[in-house]
Structure 1
């Protein structure tokens, strides 16, 4: 899952990024409201952490613009302690939650999980299943019929994306935007390499799930009646 952090305090923004990455979230950081708005419009984020007091455009203004344009991404506002009017304004304009500074890591992560749960996402600690595959994103491992393998972070993120979308076709563009960011210079062959890695691991585990290439479109997960090599 990818989270956008919009926070003009550089040290706090970097600390938030490190906290989220340790929990196996992908995190991008911007330091002003205009950049937050531009990034959020990409549609690749599962959640936005918006500081209210930012240069160029404050968090409430960003939120209002996004909601007026139909962007439904969950938003948690970062507020200064005691600013009740900002909290009320944020909730009235479509924020999903707010958290007052200073806050604990545990509270932040709990509020993120709650916001994603309301959105209907499958959370990492709950795991993902499809066919005979069980993916544990918090431990970076995939299990098939009791047999498990460790994944590296990008493999895990890719498999999570494919499993979340299940039988929907996922394009290489969608994979790059979700795993590396919409302004990344990653090439299609990077996606192909990680798809190959995952196919080999699923074959080794003798999974009945395979990643099928839809030529010119992308990839889709399919459950076969018998184990087959990709």
Structure 2
């Protein structure tokens, strides 16, 4: 999953980028509002973490742009502005959540998981197509025949991308964008290797190859578990 972090405080930004990468999110860190708009025009994101007190363009203006151009994009406002008026304004402009600084990174991660579930129309803590289940909090997967399958960070990121939209085909470049942030080196066969590893752990039919197009997991199957 790819996240746009818009934060002008270097110490906070460094800490958040490191923590998000540690749990397998691809993170692009931007320090001002105008650069955020440019990034949103050039790159597709799953979640935006948006500070309000930004140079060049205020975060609330960035929020207005996002809702006008990307109405389904999940946005969590992260700010030191803790007045009721600011919280109401941010939520009225379309933010999915609002977190006041200082905050614990574990709470932020939980809120990211929550908005991701909502966007995927999932009602439990797990992402699933009723063939494979993925727990974003523990990075463990399970199938109809196996439980507690521990995944590497990259394996988790790839499977999460597929399970957010079951039935959708993802190209190699799309999966690379969801797994790797700016400046991260990507081996030419990285995606193929990760899919090979996931199939060994979860079963060969879990991830389907659409020849010449990409990969997918099946749409939600009837619940038989």
**1:1-230 correspondence to structure 2 within 5 Å:** 1-42=1-42, 44-120=44-120, 122=122, 126-130=125-129, 132-144=131-143, 145-146=145-146, 148-181=148-181, 186=186, 188-202=188-202, 207=203, 209-222=205-218
Q: What is the number of residues matched between the two proteins? A: 218
Structure 1 residues 11-36: Cα deviation after superposition (integer angstroms, max 9, x where no partner): 11122223334454443321111222
When you count strand as a share of all residues, which structure comes out higher? 1
Residue number in structure 1 paired with 2:223: none
Is the deviation greater in 24-33 or in 80-89? 80-89
Structure 1 residues 88-129: Cα deviation after superposition (integer angstroms, max 9, x where no partner): 432332222322222334543444344334434548x82233
The structure whose RCO (Cα within 8 Å, separation 6+) is larger is 2
In structure 2, the gaps of 5 or more residues are 220-225
- Asked which structure has the greater CA Rg, the reply is 1
Aligned residue for 1:126, secondary structure, equals coil
Change in Cα spacing, 1:197 to 1:58, as seen in structure 2 (3 Å) is: same
Distance between the aligned counterparts of 1:201 and 1:182, measured in 2? 29
In structure 1, the gaps of 5 or more residues are 224-230
Q: Is the 8 A contact 2:199 2:207 kept in 1?
A: yes
Q: Is the 8 A contact 1:132 1:208 kept in 2?
A: no
Distance between the aligned counterparts of 1:44 and 1:122, measured in 2? 21
How far did residue 182 of structure 1 move? 6.8
TM-score (norm 1): 0.77
Aligned residue for 1:41, secondary structure, equals helix
Is the deviation greater in 189-198 or in 167-176? 189-198
Q: Is the 8 A contact 2:49 2:76 kept in 1?
A: yes
How far did residue 6 of structure 1 move? 0.8
How far did residue 186 of structure 1 move? 2.8
Is the deviation greater in 32-41 or in 20-29? 20-29
Is the deviation greater in 131-140 or in 11-20? 131-140
Distance between the aligned counterparts of 1:137 and 1:113, measured in 2? 7
Residue number in structure 2 paired with 1:226: none
